[in-house]
A and B are shown apart, each in its own frame.
Chain A
Amino acid sequence: MAKIQGAVDIDRERCKGCGLCVVACPCDVLQLQPKEVNDRGYHFAYDANPDACIGCGSCASVCPDSCFTVYRLVLKEA
């Protein structure tokens, strides 16, 4: 059975910390930075639990600021 691994890149300067991606993620990968802020003072989103990502792109589809680049890799078992 093939296994899928994903990864997300987040443009932290575009992010406004609205948190919609955190709710949309089915695998609880994303969190808002609890303390750190970007140049505009927003608590930007980051991949707190990157190993759980399946690259579904849910975060990108609900992101109002197009911050996400989502990668998906299908691992084929030998």
Chain B
Amino acid sequence: MTKEEIKKNGTVVAAKPRLITDNQMHYCPGCSHGVVHSIVAEVLDEMGLADNAIGVAPVGCAVFAYNYIDVDWIEAAHGRAPAVATAAKRLNPDRMVFTYQGDGDLSAIGTAETIHAANRGENIAIIFINNGIYGMTGGQMAPTTLEGMKTATCPYGRRVDLNGYPLKIGDLLAQLDGTCYVTRQSVHTTAATRKTKKAIRQAFENAMAGRGTSVVEVVSTCNSGWKMSPVKANEWMEEHMMAKYPLGDIKNTVK
């Protein structure tokens, strides 16, 4: 049977999500951001939130998220996305407000805003891309950088005596009473993307139902920053990142 016949008689099982725009993404080849973008777009579309969602973009590689996902966006100052989302949600309680942040944004400069927004139990969903490096600015060390991991600012590897320990902000946020759902997922395989999609859907449902703050941490790759090929970066992530950041639900009060 020819390809044309299969296309004509068959069903479409996967396609570009409707809310992903035709703009070509500026992300490096193989960047996890693109996968998470398409998951977010799919979930928003499936939940019928296309006209009802407000995203808050970070400073970092995902700063241009408004160019790629066709919903309303606000661009926050570096690290302040949860604070901006707090205002957006309090003024528009019927809207689904989510932030999309990287590890430099959420767990470095924005630690205070993140922890306090989560502690207040704001009804927002936080999507946290953790790739252990500052991607946009050229691969500098982030709080989440692994011990011994080489970056532009620690070329001999991160030293604990000099730079401290990798910050597991997901576990930190799970300690707070304001969070209802904290999970750590990844997007390196098909199975992992399906789980991430389920987690993001759960987070968005929590935000709509007013159950408290939901955090979906996505352990990701930054193959340019890590100086690896996309495929190699995924393997390295599975071996090293997931040893420090194990996948799975950290906290789930919604049953």
Q: With a CB–CB cut-off of 8 A, which chain B residues contact A27?
A: none
Q: With a CB–CB cut-off of 8 A, which chain A residues contact B9?
A: 73
A63 touches B6 (CB 8 A): no
CB distance from A63 to the nearest CB of B (A): 7
A72 touches B187 (CB 8 A): no
A19 to B24, CA, bound (A): 17
Q: With a CB–CB cut-off of 8 A, which chain A residues contact B230?
A: 18-20
A18 to B187, CA, bound (A): 15
A70 touches B190 (CB 8 A): no
Chain B CB within 10 A, most for which of A24, A62, A70: A62
Give the number of residue pairs across the A-B interface with Cβ within 8 Å. 112
Q: With a CB–CB cut-off of 8 A, which chain B residues contact A65?
A: 24-25, 34
A16 to B30, CA, bound (A): 8
Binds A, one of B15-23, B44-52, B154-162: B15-23
B194 near A: Cβ within 8 Å? yes
A64 touches B13 (CB 8 A): no
CB distance from A45 to the nearest CB of B (A): 11
B1 near A: Cβ within 8 Å? yes
B27 touches A64 (CB 8 A): yes
In order of increasing CB-CB distance, the 8 nearest A-B pairs are: A64-B34, A18-B30, A73-B10, A60-B14, A16-B29, A18-B29, A57-B14, A66-B16
